[in-house]
């Protein structure tokens, strides 16, 4: 079976057997009047419950209070409550660290939970993580990143295009039929 369309008539098991983009999950939640709050994993649980029971699950936690982000960032800028890893914040870090900057798990967590710390401390945490020789676990919602790492480990000479093609094939198939899952 190729990947079905995400509709309210899809079985919960068929839904869980395939990979879905977060934007697809959000669109489905909006169509069905379900909450769009929470992580990708929370959305998947909410949708599976809805498809199985027809009932709407409430978000597991109340939306947090978010401090506004400034228009201009400096290394001395203090991180506010509930900040997110935004494009403007990414641009600041790329300007300070260089084009190799990306929001990895350490940095996303630092920004999310770093209320009261400075952006300089965030830079220091990112650089310390980059110097660390150990590979970090990739959170479950970053399925593409997990695939890419595993693909390049299994195929050291592979190109990015080959890894992307393998990802596209993998996500179009049932999980139960994909080796290693």
Count of other CB atoms within 10 angstroms of residue 47 = 24
- Residue 106: the pLDDT is 86
In angstroms, the CA 87 to CA 95 distance is 12
CA 148 – CA 161 distance, rounded (Å) = 11
Task: Give CA separation, 171 vs 1, 36, 85, 156, in Å.
Answer: 12, 23, 26, 21
Four-point Cα dihedral 85, 67, 82, 55, nearest 10: -110
Structure tokens at 20: 């879905």
The token duo for 142 is: 């970053």
- pLDDT for 167: 87
What pLDDT sits at residue 62?
55
Locus of tokens 């970053």: 142
User: What's the pLDDT at 60?
Assistant: 66
- pLDDT at position 7: 92
State residue 181's pLDDT score. Answer: 43
d(CA 46, CA 15): 12
pLDDT given for residue 169 in this prediction: 85
Task: Provide the CB-side half-sphere exposure for 41 (13 A, CA).
Answer: 6
Question: HEC states along 127-143?
Answer: HHHHHCCCCCCCCCCCH
The whole-number pLDDT of residue 1 equals 64
What is the predicted pLDDT for the residue at 64?
A: 58
Query: What are the 10-residue block averages of pLDDT along the chain, 181 residues in total?
Result: 86 89 92 88 91 84 73 94 90 94 88 93 92 75 82 90 89 62 43
**pTM of the prediction?**
0.55
What the block records as the tokens of 171 is: 């996500």
């Amino acid at each position: 079976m190729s990947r079905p369309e995400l509709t309210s008539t899809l079985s919960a098991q068929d839904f869980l057997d395939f990979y879905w983009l977060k934007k697809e999950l959000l669109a489905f939640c909006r169509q069905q009047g379900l909450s769009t709050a929470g992580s990708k994993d929370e959305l998947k649980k909410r949708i599976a419950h809805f498809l199985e029971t027809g009932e709407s699950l409430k978000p597991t936690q109340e939306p947090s209070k978010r401090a506004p982000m400034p228009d201009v960032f400096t290394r001395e800028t203090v991180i506010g409550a509930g900040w997110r890893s935004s494009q403007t914040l990414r641009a600041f870090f790329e300007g300070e660290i260089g084009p190799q900057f990306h929001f990895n798990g350490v940095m996303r967590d630092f920004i999310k939970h770093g209320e009261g710390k400075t952006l300089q401390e965030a830079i220091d945490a990112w650089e310390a993580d980059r110097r660390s020789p150990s590979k970090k676990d990739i959170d479950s919602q970053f399925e593409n990143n997990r695939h890419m790492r595993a693909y390049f480990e299994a195929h050291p000479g592979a190109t990015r295009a080959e890894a992307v093609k393998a990802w596209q094939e993998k996500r179009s198939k049932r999980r139960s039929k994909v080796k290693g899952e």
